[in-house]
Copies of this chain bind each other. A is one copy, B any other.
Amino acid sequence: MSVEQTYTVTGMTCGHCVASVTEEVQEVPGVEGVDVVLETGQVTVTSTEPLDEAAVRAAVEEAGYQLA
């Protein structure tokens, strides 16, 4: 199974921010891929199972940003 879910993350201002969010979200169990669009804050996460939003939120916050 492959699940794709898009979240909105606020506070990213540059490519370093994108890299930080990508890195942390990739560590969430089950995540296969992370695609971040800096301009819109949209973070699309592909995973083997539906993700617990709390886990994604924690990863985003660990990177220093917020889920909208």
A residues contacting B by CB (< 8 A) are: 13-14, 16-17, 20
Contact = CB atoms under 8 A, between A and B. Distances in A.
Q: Determine the main DSSP class of A at the interface with B.
A: helix
Contacts of A16: 14, 16-17, 20
A16 B17 CA distance: 7
Contacts of A20: 16
A20 B20 CA distance: 14
8 contacts: A13-B13, A13-B14, A14-B14, A14-B16, A14-B17, A16-B16, A16-B17, A16-B20
Nearest to A14: B13
- The 4 A-B residue pairs with the shortest CB-CB distance, nearest first, are A16-B16, A13-B13, A13-B14, A14-B14
